[in-house]
Amino acid sequence: MVIFHVRKMIKIWITSQQLMELFLSSLVHLLCGFYICSSAVAGDLTKALTEFFHKPNTNVEAEGERDPNSHDLPPIVLVHGIFGFGPYGKGWFPRGLGGLSHFLVAEKKGQRVMVPDLGSLTSVYDRARELFYYLKGGHVDYGEEHSKDCGHSQFGRIYERGHYPEWDEGHPIHFVGYSAGAQVVRVLQQMLADKAFKGYENTSENWVLSITSQSGAMNGTTRTYIHGMQSVHNFLSTFTYHLIIYMGHCIY
């Protein structure tokens, strides 16, 4: 009887710790999101007002014009994590809210820096496929078998022209992955080694010059279990997990 009560108390204590961790994590992310959003909006408004009252100098080099020396060095691709996006906003976000991008300042530093706009809540596999076509160009193909298993469309966005179409073993790329973006790059490199892209039989792991991880869970994380994902599924844990994902998607 005593052992039963002790186990029950331990279980209650563990549950309370998990709920506390979830609450603090949610609070931190909300405050961080509010700070990023308010800073981005303030920055965009300041830029718009400055351009309105002070016309830009027409003699300045046009935006998007590449530095002739930029081709001598391999480009750097910054890959965002979950709930992240590229410099041009997401969905109904106007292009003016590009300040919300984590990597906006870095992208403005030079033409060699690229920031893809990948799925914010899609799987690592899907985002790796999107990243490949973002660089090479073409119609994003998630694969017929994978699409059927996961219940989504086989094809995604169309890139009329890739952002780095010359990408190959002779023109490799530096990748920087933030948070879940690090896993995306690792999966992409494995796909390149496995020649997993139809129509590109010459891919190899050597297309990736380096991978830099910023807070990436390279060896997995136990936090997924705290949020409800269990090795042995039950109704409560599965419901909690999907509820968190759904709420995050609606808020986003």
Strand partners, 171: 168
Structure tokens at 244: 């968190």
If pLDDT is split at 50, 70 and 90, which confidence band does 227 have? Answer: low
Rounded Cα–Cα distance for residues 25 and 8 (Å): 26
Q: E-assigned strands of 10-95?
A: 76-79
What are the structural domain ranges in the chain?
22-53, 74-221, 222-252
Q: Which of 41-45, 100-104, 112-116 has the lowest mean pLDDT?
A: 100-104
Q: Please report, in angstroms and rounded to a whole number, the separation of the first and last CA atoms in the chain.
A: 48
Strands 173-178 and 76-79 come out as: parallel
| Spatial contact of 119 and 153, defined as CB atoms under 8 Å apart | no
Beta-bridged to residue 114, according to DSSP, are 77
pTM over 0.85: no
| Eight-class DSSP state of 15 | H
Domain 74-221, CATH class in plain words: alpha beta
Helix, strand, coil shares, percent, the chain, to 5: 50, 10, 40
Distance, in Å, from the CA atom of 80 to the CA atom of 250, rounded to the nearest integer, reads: 20
For the cut 70, the answer to whether the pLDDT of residue 151 exceeds it is: yes
Longest dimension (CA), the chain: 84
Asked if 73 and 114 count as a contact pair (C-beta separation under 8 A), the reply is no
43: CB partners within 8 A, 6+ apart: 99
Residue with tokens 């090479």: 136
Q: Is 65's pLDDT higher than 50? A: no
pLDDT at 40: 63
Helices 180-193 and 124-136, packing angle to 10 deg: 70
**What pLDDT is recorded for position 93?**
42
Confidence category of residue 58, pLDDT binned at 50, 70, 90 = very low
β-partners of residue 77 are 114, 175
Which tops the pLDDT comparison, 152 or 220?
152
User: Which letter does DSSP use for residue 237 in this model?
Assistant: H
Nearest Cα to 171, choosing from 207, 138, 199, 195?
207
